Amino acid sequence: MAGSLFLSKGIMIMQSFYADEIISVLILGIFAFVIPGTLTIWNIYNCISKKPKWEKIISSLTVFVGGIFYFGLFTLEFEEAGEWYERIDEMKYHNSISSEYWLIGCIVFLGFVGYFVLLNVRADKLSPLLSALSISALILMNIIQIVFAIQISKNVDGADCLLYVYHANIMLLSARVIQRHMKEEAEVFKDRISSNEEHKKTGFLVCKINSISQYSIFIFIMFFFLIALIEVIFVLLGQGLDAPIKAFTDTADWTFSKQIPPPPLEHEGHYLCTVAAGGHKRVVKPIRLGTRRNSTIIVNRQLSVANAFEELVQERAPRFHKKIRGIYDTYGYPLSRKITTPLRADFVYILMKPLEWIFLVVLYLFDLRPEQRIAKQYMYKAPEEMVE
């Protein structure tokens, strides 16, 4: 009776869990496809239309909301766990840009500042110097974002290609705002010469030539001035002239990476090891490093409890343990091969929670010191302590 009640409750919990999963997938689909797709189509319309609609609002939403989606998807798919010289789990990635060269982020920020200056301030209200600086910073930012798009391309696959939708939108918006600004500059030149009778018939052509020639040279000068200034700042900070290049090459796992990382932390062969090492930290909650078969692994509470339970069963019922171990060896290792993303690891962690609680109850019922047994599982050993 009690068993059937427990089973029915378990089925209800699983049904509720699957319903929540379906709702989550639908919500994720809306955020991942509908909103970015709508914004992209609207941006294309505003670029080709003579009468763009809500251009400033849609552009701002694309930058900010799209940026949130971008970093959310990037974090889910490519969990970065450290610099190239650090040992990390093989399911995670080293940093795509070296944190030592943080000034790259400042350049990208200035590029977005330049974009919003050009988007919200008309050319006749903007000084030539600020105008040229804004365009130069925006161009430089786009160069960096193109390089970054190539940097991550080595690991982009399947749904990860959605990341490039944001890159494409930023390039589209940048081209649109520069084109509009240059058009406004042409109008300013046209107004300046409209009072001159000699140029009334050719005024528009003259203003076009003047605006293009003057601003193209000015922007060209300011662009290289900005690059020179950034290089000087890099040198003053002790990062060297080649710092912008090293930001992408002093990495591991990515397209431009030149560094060879240390061996990864092992988790393969035990699916709970895979979960502890491969899931998102806020979900699987890793607590420390441990040693398994002379290899360093990441340990969380669930892994320790499961191993302590197995140890207890082996001591009290060795024949029963042998059967359990046979089942685990048959299905556990193949399962670990399927846990290839942090989301899958999170899912298995949540799915294993009821079993973890059962293991814990058994430990507290039949072991005199359950927490001591749990704590000693996979105790960390320094390399010199390991036995070959």
φ and ψ at residue 297, rounded to 5 degrees = -130, 170
- State the pLDDT confidence band at 150, using cuts at 50, 70 and 90: very high
Residue 274, pLDDT > 80, answer no
Q: What is the pLDDT of the chain when averaged over all its residues?
A: 76
Higher pLDDT, 90 or 307: 307
pLDDT at 13 over 50: no
Mean pLDDT of the 77-93 span? 78
How many CB atoms sit inside 10 A of residue 367's CB? 18
Judge whether residue 320 has pLDDT over 90: no
Could you tell me which residue, 67 or 13, shows the higher pLDDT? 67
**Mean pLDDT within 2-7:** 44
Residue 365, classified by CB atoms within 10 Å of its CB into exposed (0-12), middle (13-18) or buried (19+), is exposed
CB count in 10 Å sphere of residue 135: 24
The per-residue pLDDT for 63 is 93
Q: In the structure encoding, which two tokens stand for residue 231, read together? A: 């290089």
Distance CA 54, CA 42 (A): 9
Select, from the ranges 133-137, 287-291, 317-321, the one with the highest average predicted confidence (pLDDT): 133-137
The answer to whether 251 and 94 are in contact (CB under 8 A) is: yes
Residue 298 phi/psi, 5-degree rounding, is -95, 135
Structure tokens at 131: 């105008």
Kindly give, in sequence order, each residue whose CB lies less than 8 Å from that of residue 98, ignoring residues fewer than 6 positions away.
Answer: 83, 84, 246, 247, 248, 250, 251
Q: What is the pLDDT of residue 61?
A: 92
Segment of 117-131, 134-148, 186-200, 371-385 carrying the highest mean pLDDT: 134-148
Check whether 104 has a pLDDT greater than 60.
yes
CA 258/CA 250 separation, integer angstroms: 6
Q: Is it the case that residue 92 has pLDDT exceeding 80?
A: no
Mean pLDDT of the region 90-95:
78
C-alpha 270/C-alpha 289 separation (Å) is 15
Residue 24 pLDDT greater than 60, yes or no: no
Exposure letters 80-103 (e unless 16+ CB within 10 A, then b): bbebbeeebbebbbbbbbbeebeb
* pLDDT tens, residue by residue, 226-244: 666 666 666 666 666 677 8
Strands 286-292 and 295-300: antiparallel
pLDDT above 70 coverage of the chain, percent: 68
173 falls in which pLDDT band (50, 70, 90)? very high
The residue extents of the domains of the chain are: 65-249, 271-383
Of the two residues 278 and 367, the one the predictor is more confident about is 367
Percent of the chain's residues with pLDDT above 90: 13
Cα–Cα distance measured from residue 66 to residue 89, given in angstroms and rounded to the nearest whole number? 29
pLDDT 10s digits, 37-83: 888 898 888 888 878 888 889 999 999 999 998 988 888 778 787 88
Which residues are CB-contacts of 250 (< 8 A; sequence separation ≥ 6)?
84, 98, 100, 101, 258, 259
Confidence of residue 388 (pLDDT cuts 50, 70, 90): very low
Long-range contacts, 233-236 (Cβ 8 Å, 24+):
233/103, 234/101, 234/103
Q: Which letter, b or e, does each residue of 302-314 get, where b requires 16 or more Cβ atoms within 10 Å of its Cβ?
A: bbbbbbbbbbbbe
Which three-class secondary structure state does DSSP give residue 177? helix
pLDDT in tens, 110-147: 999 999 999 998 878 888 778 888 888 898 899 999 99
pLDDT at residue 219, rounded to an integer = 60
H helix count then E strand count, the chain: 14, 2
Helix (H/G/I), strand (E/B), else coil: 124: helix
Q: Of residues 217 and 226, which shows the higher confidence score? A: 226
